[in-house]
Amino acid sequence: MDILENRAEWEATFKENFVAYFDETGETNFKVYNRAKNKTQPLGKAVDLSQSKLLLVTSAGGYLKESQEPFDAPNLLGDYSHRLFPIDTPFEDLAYAHDHYDHQYIDADPQVLVPLKHLADMVDEGYIGELAPTVFSYSGYTPDLARVLDELVPAVIEQAKSQNVQAALLVPS
Amino acid sequence: MEGIATATASWNGGYVRASLPPRGVIVRTDRGQTLGEPNNPEQQRRILKTTLDLLAQDAPVDIVVLDERD
């Protein structure tokens, strides 16, 4: 099961249109951006969340402001790196590098995108078995889906395996 | 993600319907507040729980549309 069906065709079209426009003008044009169009949903087994370990994946661009480099948010072709931070990180230790959403909401209440406290409460209530100790964070302006597949997805899988999780929650921004 | 059950919630219905994740919730919130309004923990929990509840089902799961503006 492919995450992106017809990858080769998607990549060729992306280069011919979106990348070529950017190379010519230095600007992006989402009128010529080829959105992924899958036809088949992946198969997968259910889990009993109350007996599972859950990994939080956030694309809000969160990073530890005192010890990590911010994401390259102004990059019009995207930043495909990731940061890791502990699930019990205080919100005051986080900053968010992502230029493609309005930060007024996350500044007022980080749980609109990074639900650390809600998830911790759900563990206390027995709804979730446990949380993976490390959050996977990236900055979700990532127009090049081939780079998402080649760089971000393997990194998420590595984290999921190394933390021995049975489930993952993605909260896009 | 092979062998790992995944679920997502997104305000961007177009992307969810096009990318077809195994378990997805389309939330009629705004960009930048996927899980609900700031300082509205009840709404945030509702959206989060609707999404996480899908993990109890084998994928593929029909895309769920949650209209929190009603």
How far is Cα A118 from Cα A111, in angstroms, rounded to an integer?
A: 8
Q: How far apart are CA A79 and CA A138, in angstroms?
A: 8
CB contact under 8 A, A112 and B15: no
Backbone angles phi, psi at B26, to 5 degrees: -95, 120
CB A148 within 8 A of CB B19: no
Beta bridge partners of B24: B8
**Which residue in A has a C-alpha nearest to residue B35's C-alpha?**
A112
Give the distance from residue B69's alpha carbon to the nearest chain A alpha carbon, in angstroms.
15
CB pair distance less than 8 Å for A105 and B41: no
Report CB contact under 8 Å: B22, A49. no
Question: Would an 8 Å CB–CB cutoff place A44 in contact with chain B?
Answer: yes
Residues A108-155 pLDDT 10s: 999 999 999 999 999 999 999 999 999 999 999 999 999 999 999 999
Interchain pair B18, A38: CB under 8 A: yes
- Give the Cα separation of B50 and B7 in Å (integer): 10
Tracing tokens 């950017």 back to the chain, one arrives at A22
Largest CA distance in chain A: 55
Question: Residue A50, SS3?
Answer: helix
Cβ contacts (< 8 Å) between B22 and chain A: which residues? 41-44
Instruction: Tell me how far CA of residue A72 lies from CA of A75, A124, A126, in angstroms.
Output: 6, 36, 38
**pLDDT tens digits, A2-43:** 888 889 999 999 999 999 999 999 999 999 999 888 999 999
Q: How far apart are CA A154 and CA A148, in angstroms?
A: 9
Tokens of A152: 């971000």
ipTM, interface predicted TM-score of the complex: 0.94
Query: So what's the pLDDT on residue B69?
Result: 63
Total-model pTM: 0.95
Interface of A with B in 57-96 (CB under 8 A): none
> pLDDT tens, A131-144?
999 999 999 999 99
Token pair of A12 as six digits? 């060729």
Answer yes or no: do A172 and B30 touch at CB < 8 A.
Answer: no
